[in-house]
Amino acid sequence: MRRPRRLGLFATVLSTLMFPWGGWGADPGPGSSASGLFGLGKQAIGISVGHGLAIPIADTANPELEDVQFITVAPRWGIGISNPMGGDAWYRGNFELLGEGTFLYQVEPKEGFAGGITAMFRYNFLPDGRFIPFVEAGAGILVLNLDLAGREDGLNFSPQAGVGFHYFVSEQTSFTGEWRILHISNADIEQPNRSLNSSLFLIGVTTFLK
């Protein structure tokens, strides 16, 4: 019964985080484009929740590490660090810098916690319309208390990369979905240092500031 209760908790947290944001009922209008919200100095704030699942590769191929599952919450702030580039090409887009808070609750194989900050660089593709795909990569610092065999808690690092999208549901608000590969290790500062490699799915909302 533990997993159904945790999935219910995850759904409750997601609903609580998403629906207080305004503007969900406002139609952006047919053919409207969100690309004007992206550019040098333009800012956005958002929050996502997600589920991480260990991938049994490299050091993670370990009887305890390969069973790791966790729930994460990630509030974020972003700022455009370039204007749109690429003319009318398919790759037209802009670069964005994001700062994220990371709050992680491990649910399997035992309970544990982690917290930290992450910096991400994102390239937003800017076609006309409501759908804005992106690619991203970055790294962060985490303080762990996971109590997993074969690895040390304390200060760790979290390089990661992935893909995602914004789908605008109002003039300034989007539903945001992401998938990332997340690597956690302490860079051999302390031993043992079996790395934890995970597939991380995130969903949330983003509000773009004019």
Arithmetic mean of pLDDT over the chain: 87
What is the largest distance, in Å, between two alpha-carbon atoms of the chain? 57
- SS3 of the chain: the string is CHHHHHHHHHHHHHHHHHCCCCCCCCCCCCCCCCHHHCCCCCEEEEEEEEEEEECCCHHHCCCCHHHCEEEEEEEEEEEECCCCECCCCCCCEEEEEEEEEEEEEEEECCCEEEEEEEEEEEEEECCCCCEEEEEEEEEEEEEEECCCCCECCEEEECCEEEEEEEEECCCCEEEEEEEEEEEEECCCCCCCECCEEEEEEEEEEEEEEC
> Can you read off the two tokens belonging to residue 165?
């999208």
pLDDT for the residue numbered 24: 41
- Work out the pLDDT band at 207, boundaries 50, 70, 90: very high
Percent of the chain with pLDDT over 90: 70
- Work out the pLDDT band at 21, boundaries 50, 70, 90: very low
- Work out the pLDDT band at 44, boundaries 50, 70, 90: very high
pLDDT for the residue numbered 8: 54
Q: Which residue has the higher pLDDT, 189 or 21?
A: 189
Q: What are the structural domain ranges in the chain?
A: 2-19+38-209
CATH class of the structural domain 2-19+38-209: mainly beta
pLDDT tens, residue by residue, 106-129:
999 999 999 999 999 999 999 999
pLDDT for the residue numbered 94: 97
- Work out the pLDDT band at 86, boundaries 50, 70, 90: very high
Give me the residue label for tokens 């491990």: 106
> Can you read off the two tokens belonging to residue 174?
């989007």
pLDDT tens, residue by residue, 156-202:
999 999 999 999 999 999 999 999 999 999 988 888 888 999 999 99
Q: Name the CA radius of gyration of the chain, rounded.
A: 18
Rounded Cα distance between 194 and 58, Å, is 9
Is residue 94 within 8 A of residue 119, CB to CB? The reply is: no
- Work out the pLDDT band at 17, boundaries 50, 70, 90: very low
Percent of the chain with pLDDT over 70: 84
